[in-house]
Structure 1
Amino acid sequence: MKTLSWFDIVRLGLIQACLGAIVVLTTSTLNRLMVVELALPAVLPGLLVALHYGIQITRPNWGFRSDTRGNRTTFIIGGMIVLALGGFLAAYGVQVLATQYGLGLAISILAYALIGLGVGASGTSLLALLATATAPERRAAAATITWLMMIAGIAITAGTVGAFLDPYTPALLLKIVTIVTVGAVCVTTLAVWRIERDVEDTSEPETMPFSHGMREIWAERKARNFTGFVFLSMTAYFMQELILEPYSGLVFNFSPGQSTSLSGAQNGGVFLGMVMVGLACTGLRIGSLKGWVIIGCLGSAAMLVLIALLGQIGPGAPLVPAVAGLGIFNGMFAVAAIGSMMALAGEGRDGREGTRMGLWGAAQAMAAGFGGLIGAAAVDLLRTAMSSDASAFGTVFVAEAALFVFAAIMAVQVMERRPSRSLEMVPGE
């Protein structure tokens, strides 16, 4: 079977960028509009985002279908179309919520369900294609490239939308979301076109029930332990996702455009952190994946405590640099964890790369939904119990910092100290 060239990997990275571009609108801009402009409880967008993550528990099934010779291109493009429709309906639902709460809620539930299905089908099939068609020595580097492009898509979208969204109007929001979603479908179609055909495996399909395939993977000790680490670390990673922008609006008086740009600063930091680790491992040969995971977790914890303390100062405090710093350490942790994930996907029983990626993707999605939901719910409860919004949000940020510390401890126990060449790129075509 022919393997993916570097050009093919970059093309597939464009699809990751499109996935991030649509999802960031629902987790940042629309979330802030619900909590600040519509004065709805933070737990509402928390539940909606948890719904879209919860539906992604189907990720192992998508991966298993790829392992048994499913048509990955169809799922990638079809999933992106479903995701785009969900993103548009989510923006429309926010507008309806302002005047007809019941109808707006129904539209929002449908929208976020479609988002979950779209991300699960498109994202997992894409990862399965990468894991199965990428040469073993390129897998970690491919993960770095594609995730950098995803973060770039998130950061560029958040920053651009933030700049164009002020002064905010519902009509302007729908126009911007339409441009982003339609563009994502077009780019995805062009990016994946004919790639699978060129790397198609012509061996006989293996037929077995999904439950049997999952039992095979769960019997692998490395797969089980890494699944637990992914769930804990990603719970910490996503706890601030739904509360950071409302925090900036309620405590620092940021406008909708400013708070959306804040998300762009954070994701720009994530991009920088990923680049730093990639350069350290490939060029300077500094550190290991395990070491960078630990540094990223502990650094993220420190920045979250700083962000909590800045809330006591209020407007005028340097929130944007602190959030960008959080992004840098998040990026260090994320790229090292993803590199380990791609490398481990090829270990164990052959022909199960997609199923392993699906299992870890499901663990990540469940952790993201759980983390976002408990973060939002805790803020609602603490805002009722405390007299200060800054203290309520700050308490949650400190709790998230503690989870990052626990994740670093778990990384010491479950991750092997892999050599730095696991992120190294071999010469291209």
Structure 2
Amino acid sequence: MTLSWFQIFRLGLVQMALGAIVVLTTSTLNRLMVVELALPAILPGMLVALHYGIQMTRPHWGFASDAGGHRTKWIIGGMIVLALGALLAAVGVLVLGSSFAGGMVISVVAYALIGLGVGASGTSLLALLATTTAPHRRAAAATITWLMMIFGIAMTAGIVGSLIDPYTPQLLIRIVAIVVTAAVLLTCLAVWRVERKLIAVREPDPTPFREGLREVWQERKARNFTLFVFLSMTAYFMQELILEPYAGLVFAFTPGQSTSLSGAQNGGVFIGMLTVGIMATGLKIGALRNWVMAGCLGSAAALALITFLGPMGPGAPLMPAVVGLGFFNGMFAVAAIGSMMALAGQGRERREGTRMGLWGAAQAIAAGFGGLVGAGMVDLLRLTFTDTQAFGSVFIFEAGLFIAAAAMAARIMDRKLPSATLVPGE
């Protein structure tokens, strides 16, 4: 038995809950540290890098769910840990205002919990989708679940942005508590009894973790795709920690406005993903390779536009440019995700979770690395250049990485393989 469309939608709610919590830590809390607390951008960059670094454990979580044969417990348990970490991260921001050392200790623990929670819950969810979705539905399932995640990010950022002004510490805690509680409850409802009658429930696999990971790494397709994921996601996440501070410092956005900017960007991601989902999966137009390349090159162009708007300062049309960046980001991401879902089922059997974990780890490492490098470069450049020049230089560098990712996609992806036939068995 495989997942029905309704069950795929239910599991997408877990992705939506994950996105809703994570966006608070990477946008709202990050902005408060850099602008309201006047801390160096490298500080939230290091905290976010920590939570991504912890996600190097993703292959372990994926392998554990492969070996154990039951993924629901990992999904719910990981979400609970993620929720606790996000709430603790909000407390850490408040403590930083009065005690730097105390706030840092709390924040480090919080972001470590966030990394563990995302790794356990997200990897197990993707493995469940990869192993229980019928071959002809996998590309569509990938599109649906990621659209729901981006919708959760955009919706949360938009709502929080409208509610958090005028900002107070008490309001921040209240909002975060409501979001994480709703996410945990939604996850429990989404996965309740879904796995019980699915083929993913299997007898435990006695193979040791290192042997299973080595088997996957020896697969050429899996290895090449891991390297592509690292390069492209480094570019994707380099602006994550600096875009809102850029809006605040250069364009005089308030905390609510900059959080809404993040929501608008993810709204653009949603539209980009939906566009590719309809064109490639529904209408069967275009090869997956072409969608990936177009998304990367479009992202590079949007970053250049965001840079050129900097000298105009307050009043410049930053919002449309950021939505454009989100659109091309979404175009690239959903095409890569469709490939990931298909490749997870190729190669040695019973290693779907391990493959998803490997690619998830590559994405997490790249996200932490990209965010940290972006924040660090901004701090260093601001020592000798204006804010506009410092941020703009980083955006241009990021655009160069997107161009390099497009070139790599051209080399490693099959130009003759249309998106609609990417999934084995179609």
TM exceeds 0.5? yes
Deviation by residue 1:317-368 (Cα, 9 ceiling, x = unmatched): 0000000000000000000000001011111111111111000000000000
CA contact (8 A) 1:270 1:330 kept: yes
Amino acid at match of 2:393: T
Deviation by residue 1:41-83 (Cα, 9 ceiling, x = unmatched): 0000000000000000000011111221343111111110000
> Hey, what does 2:146 align to over in structure 1?
147
> Hey, what does 1:373 align to over in structure 2?
372
> Hey, what does 1:322 align to over in structure 2?
321
> Hey, what does 1:196 align to over in structure 2?
195
Secondary structure of 1:25 counterpart: helix
Cα 1:69–1:137 change in 2 (3 A) is: farther
Looking at structure 1, the residues matched to 222 and 32 of structure 2 have their Cα atoms a distance apart, in angstroms, of: 39
CA contact (8 A) 2:127 2:353 kept: yes
> Hey, what does 2:397 align to over in structure 1?
399
Looking at structure 2, the residues matched to 305 and 210 of structure 1 have their Cα atoms a distance apart, in angstroms, of: 44
Amino acid at match of 2:389: S
Amino acid at match of 1:353: E
- After TM superposition, the structure 1 = structure 2 runs for residues 357-372 of structure 1, keeping only pairs within 5 Å, are 357-372=356-371
Looking at structure 2, the residues matched to 201 and 235 of structure 1 have their Cα atoms a distance apart, in angstroms, of: 32
> Hey, what does 1:11 align to over in structure 2?
10
How far did residue 202 of structure 1 move?
5.8
Looking at structure 2, the residues matched to 201 and 414 of structure 1 have their Cα atoms a distance apart, in angstroms, of: 30
> Hey, what does 1:28 align to over in structure 2?
27
> Hey, what does 2:310 align to over in structure 1?
311
> Hey, what does 2:125 align to over in structure 1?
126
> Hey, what does 2:331 align to over in structure 1?
332
How far did residue 312 of structure 1 move?
1.1
Deviation by residue 1:126-151 (Cα, 9 ceiling, x = unmatched): 11111111112211211111000000
> Hey, what does 1:412 align to over in structure 2?
410
Looking at structure 2, the residues matched to 206 and 25 of structure 1 have their Cα atoms a distance apart, in angstroms, of: 37
> Hey, what does 2:171 align to over in structure 1?
172
Amino acid at match of 1:408: A
Cα 1:139–1:283 change in 2 (3 A) is: closer
Secondary structure of 2:311 counterpart: coil
> Hey, what does 2:184 align to over in structure 1?
185
Looking at structure 2, the residues matched to 355 and 104 of structure 1 have their Cα atoms a distance apart, in angstroms, of: 36
9-18 or 415-424, which deviates more = 415-424
Cα 1:382–1:4 change in 2 (3 A) is: same
Q: Does residue 101 in structure 1 map to residue 95 in structure 2?
A: no
Q: Which blocks of at least 5 consecutive residues in structure 1 are unaligned?
A: none
Cα 1:69–1:28 change in 2 (3 A) is: same
CA contact (8 A) 2:342 2:422 kept: no
CA contact (8 A) 2:69 2:202 kept: no
How far did residue 203 of structure 1 move?
4.8
CA contact (8 A) 2:195 2:201 kept: no
Looking at structure 1, the residues matched to 177 and 201 of structure 2 have their Cα atoms a distance apart, in angstroms, of: 39
- After TM superposition, the structure 1 = structure 2 runs for residues 30-49 of structure 1, keeping only pairs within 5 Å, are 30-49=29-48
Q: Does residue 282 in structure 1 map to residue 278 in structure 2?
A: no
> Hey, what does 2:111 align to over in structure 1?
112
Cα 1:173–1:50 change in 2 (3 A) is: same
Identity of aligned residues (%): 72
Q: How many residues align?
A: 425
> Hey, what does 2:58 align to over in structure 1?
59
TM-score for the superposition, normalised by structure 2: 0.98
Secondary structure of 2:312 counterpart: coil
Cα 1:316–1:203 change in 2 (3 A) is: closer
Q: Which blocks of at least 5 consecutive residues in structure 2 are unaligned?
A: none
CA contact (8 A) 2:19 2:150 kept: yes
Amino acid at match of 2:126: L
